[in-house]
Structure 1
Amino acid sequence: MLTNFCFKLRPNVTQSSVMDGWLDMLRSTYNWSLADRIAQYNQQFIQGDYCDIRTRGEACPLTCFVSKNGASGEPWKDTKIDKDGKLKNPRRSAGDIQITALPELKKRVPWFGEIDSTVLQQNVKRLDTAYKNFFSTRRCANEGRGFPKFKNRSNFTSFTYQMGVKVQGSKIYLPKLGWMRFFNFRVIPEGFTIKAATIRKRQDAWYVSIRIEDKSIPDYVLKPLDEVKSILGCDLGITKLVHLSDRHQIDNPKFSTSKKAKRTLKIRQRRVSRKVKGSKNRQKAASKLGRFHKKITDKRVTYQWAVANKIVSRNVDAIALEDLNISGMLKRCRVKTDETTGRFLKNGQSRNPG
């Protein structure tokens, strides 16, 4: 069984400044790795390889780490032959090559050695995950995730430890950062081991999400359809949050669109826009605006958990949810043309409210 526990950290001034510096360095590594992969694709598939006259071997117009003639050394990881007569790991992936180049990065840029090695490796694997999500969703239907984008300070706010994390009471040990206090409001159950920890910076403080695992607890097993006797249907509403099939309705508090919230949001946004760009006062006003958005998010998440608990607590065998393609509903209607004249036909776009 895998689950996550989230806690609010209490770092000192030194630890907080060190983590801020880590985020800047990890963001630069992520962007460099992404640019290196894009350059490799352009060199290999768009520009094309050329043949060296003397060696009669293929070469790339430029040199990058993830190319087959790259600067990271031999691309062939292992040439040993297994029992079936096949090569073991005959080709390195782009992520493996970039992870192998991390020790060289630490030698050339010494301050990268201050970051834990597993954090640097997980940063490259994060890019691998983004690539896998892009190519896997392209094979699916309409909706999917886009191509990985370059990160800035606003959308790169976390890093992950893979090992070495320890918890004792209200203190947590993070490699290269030391012991750090946190608000221990829930005890980790006995038998669970720490698998990973993600440090995330939010508007008000630093948070840690600890992934714990207990293999002795089996995963939840789905009940066969033959044993399902009662079903509760849930339908998303417009004025109400959820409509249930037993005629019960759950209210939508509208935390961000209420009269008071809209007025507060308007005032704080106006204060940010009136400050000089790049000034300390603008940063303070933006931080205050971000804390208000975080407060709305926390209220919404807490209410959603309460609603989910209310739905699950009903005595039914199964719960049915609708699967709406929201992005498809918001898109414009496809253009229709007459086959003979080529003129545009009515496609119902004027009736589509989006």
Structure 2
Amino acid sequence: MSSGLTKNSKKHGLSWGSATDIQSKRTTELRSESEWYSRINSDVLQGNLAKLDIAYNGFFQHKRGFPAFRKAANFKTFQFKPGQVKLTVNRESNQSRCYSHAYLPGLGTMRYFDSRTIPVDAEIRTVTVIKEADGWYMSVLLNLPESLPEVTEIETVKSAVGIDVGINKLISLSDGSFIENPKFATNKKVRRQLRIRQRRVNRKVKGSNNRKKAGKRVAKLHKKIADKRNDHQWKAANKVVNTAEAIVQEDLNVKAMKSRCKPKKQKGRFMPNGQSAKRGLNRSISDPSWGDLFSKIAWLALKSGKPVLSVNPKFTSQECSACHHISKANRDGEKFICENCGHIDHADTQASRTILRRANLKFVSKDIKNLPGDSRKVTLLTYSPA
């Protein structure tokens, strides 16, 4: 439809403006008609119009659905252009916390907690104000003069570590160490708290102030879970990056791992397809947020100039690192016993070493033999009935 309108408009010498152009004219009219609308910074309104234009372009290019209407309460962020926001850093030696002041156009000067110091030579590109469940935050995009270090060539690295992510253990490293998964959102205590608070929301009258207060308590609990997860991921990513000169990880398709089970039909009705059990697995996969963890590892590795390699994850938990025999029977929970050569190891550690070996690094085959657990062998016994 959009392509037909464009062709006809060009044929008759007409020009169609973008969604931003059309809405911008209406926005100008609203600013003159409404006093409270005129108090909003014009760049903030233009930023939202730019987002609207992106949404319509995505629809016309068949990349996403038609843009849905969003009420004012759903807008949690707004952005200022360079040069509009003025930051003043005030540090007092007798205070343990550092508070600074920021001038926001249309809002005035306000105090904020200086969690990270902005370098003096940094150029502020954009300032985004974000509303969270526990307060307001300010995200500053900077243009720093120093550049990132060059990534080391993979042929020149002298040490590497393979990592396997999981549910019981967040990260299993090829050197035999583990990083635990606290299960911030799936442990019994948190799930019980969520159920209680969500039940209280459902029992309140829709549109009432009490319902809004109950909803804020649910949002604060979700924010607390997200903050704990984010902090733990940064610490885990730091440990992984500081372990070796190169990191090898699985190229996981997390979205496909959380896909729903296909429905089973029989004589006009749906049969059990295992989706109830799969729902619990999907919840356990979503809790550690492997995608965010990989992004943090990639960023810290880039800052350190260390390469990150991704390998095929197929059968990494079933392949023996000693003889490369692949079998589902090799693994029993967290135990790994190769049915071919008798090699014994922790299943997750075994998978991380298989991941490291699949990177085809020159020094890997030599180093893996000396890792703990690789030398433990058992003699396979065969039983024949009398």
TM-score (ref. length: structure 2): 0.58
Q: What's the CA shift string for 1:307-343, capped at 9, x where partnerless? A: 11111222x22212322222223446889xxxxxxxx
Quickly say closer, same or farther: Cα 1:257–1:311, change in 2 above 3 A. same
| Gap regions ≥5 residues in structure 1 | 1-39, 52-56, 60-67, 76-92, 139-144, 336-348
Quickly say closer, same or farther: Cα 1:101–1:263, change in 2 above 3 A. closer
Matched, 1:248 2:177: yes
Matched, 1:123 2:48: yes
1:1-354 equivalent positions in 2, closer than 5 A: 41=2, 44=5, 49=8, 58=12, 68-69=14-15, 93-95=18-20, 98-99=23-24, 102-130=27-55, 138=63, 148-152=67-71, 155-163=74-82, 164-169=84-89, 170-214=100-144, 216-314=145-243, 316-331=244-259
TM-score (ref. length: structure 1): 0.62
Equivalent residue of 1:181, what SS?
A: strand
Q: CA deviation at 1:43?
A: 7.7
Q: What's the CA shift string for 1:95-125, capped at 9, x where partnerless? A: 4564466434433545432111211221122
Quickly say closer, same or farther: Cα 1:311–1:177, change in 2 above 3 A. same
Q: What's the CA shift string for 1:213-244, capped at 9, x where partnerless? A: 22x20134322233233222222112111122
Contact 2:9 2:15 in 1 (8 A): no
Equivalent residue of 1:120, what SS?
A: helix
Inter-partner Cα distance in structure 2 for 1:255 and 1:227: 39
Inter-partner Cα distance in structure 2 for 1:239 and 1:186: 33
- What's the RMSD between the two structures over aligned residues? 3.5
1:18 is matched with none
Identity of aligned residues (%): 42
Q: Which one scores higher on RCO, CA 8 angstroms, separation ≥ 6? A: 1
| Gap regions ≥5 residues in structure 2 | 90-99, 264-272, 283-386
Inter-partner Cα distance in structure 1 for 2:229 and 2:61: 31
Inter-partner Cα distance in structure 1 for 2:58 and 2:247: 28
Inter-partner Cα distance in structure 1 for 2:156 and 2:25: 52
Quickly say closer, same or farther: Cα 1:135–1:320, change in 2 above 3 A. farther
Inter-partner Cα distance in structure 1 for 2:61 and 2:147: 29
